[in-house]
Amino acid sequence: MSTQTPVPALTTSGPSAGAQKPVGPRTRVSGVVVNVVTAALGVLFLIPLLWVLFAAFNAEAGLKLELPGSNLSLDNFRAVLTPETTYRPMWNGLVLCVGSTALAIAVATLAAYPLSRFETRYKRPFLLTILFSTGLPITAIMVPVYGLFVQLNLVDTLGGTIAFMATTALPMSIFLMKNFMDGVPLTLEEAAWTDGASSMQTLRHIVLPLMWPGMSVVTIFTFIGMWGNFFIPFVLLLSPDRLPASVSIFTFFGQYGSVQWGQLAAYSILYTLPVVVLYVLLSRRLGGAFNFGGALKG
């Protein structure tokens, strides 16, 4: 009859036992420094926004950040809400930005689809070219572009400006659209191809509905870039009645004997409204996630 000697239980100590390493004073100091720097940067960004908000309702606004107090009024908004100052430039800006954004999104979708779904030896060079184009400054190409527009009689035309603004937005739009399109499973399209659907039919009825949240992101990103673009319309548009709001805001620094800071702040608030409205309209789509698990079951 044999007897077994009980084996003592193994015990572990130290970091392998799962014990958390105590936080040292150096780590705490680093965390405090990071929080202080972050808070300081937040304040630096918040102060200009507060100045715009307070100055817009201050009849005697200056560069100093102060509450309107007894000077609280809507005179600044009444002064800028005129056809020449606000209504016409806002309309011109909407025509330029909506047209160029729609054109850029349509072309980017058609360009991103083969990059996402097909493999060719030219795919990588093309993507690298797109990435290089995103870092090319617009000021480096405006002189030859202006010369080309002069030869084609496109200077001071909304159609030519829309086409060029859409072209400048294409590299980043294609790159983002391709990344979102990669998230749509190819098996869904293969099932549609089996049923006889063409590539354009699967793009329209399967891929685009599933990647609509991503398209909303690209649309907002593209529109914001167009809405804040000053240099392109400033160079290509000559008539004052065709200038967008991004250019007409520059007149506040030269139209009067001295800068009307209150009116400039009021105009700045009105200038941001289209972007805010677009974000609110598309924010529901931004909350949707790319959950394709249910579509792949069965």
Give the tens place of pLDDT for each residue, 261-280: 888 889 999 999 988 888 88
pLDDT of 290: 42
**Global pTM exceeds 0.85:** no
> What is the pLDDT of the chain when averaged over all its residues?
81
How many Cα neighbours within 13 Å face the side chain of 65?
9
pLDDT, mean of residues 147-172: 92
pLDDT of 254: 59
Query: How many percent of the chain have pLDDT more than 90?
Result: 22
Q: Is the pLDDT of residue 169 over 70?
A: yes
Q: Is the pLDDT of residue 82 over 80?
A: yes
Name the least confident of 9-13, 107-111, 218-222.
9-13
Q: Is the pLDDT of residue 253 over 80?
A: no
pLDDT of 251: 75
Q: Is the pLDDT of residue 128 over 90?
A: no
Closest C-alpha among 93, 48, 69, 46 to residue 264? 48
pLDDT level of residue 95 (50, 70, 90 thresholds): very high
Per residue in 23-50, pLDDT (tens digit) is: 566 777 777 788 888 988 888 888 888 8
pLDDT of 89: 93
pLDDT of 62: 76
Q: Is the pLDDT of residue 289 over 70?
A: no
Per residue in 190-223, pLDDT (tens digit) is: 888 887 878 888 888 888 888 888 888 899 889 9
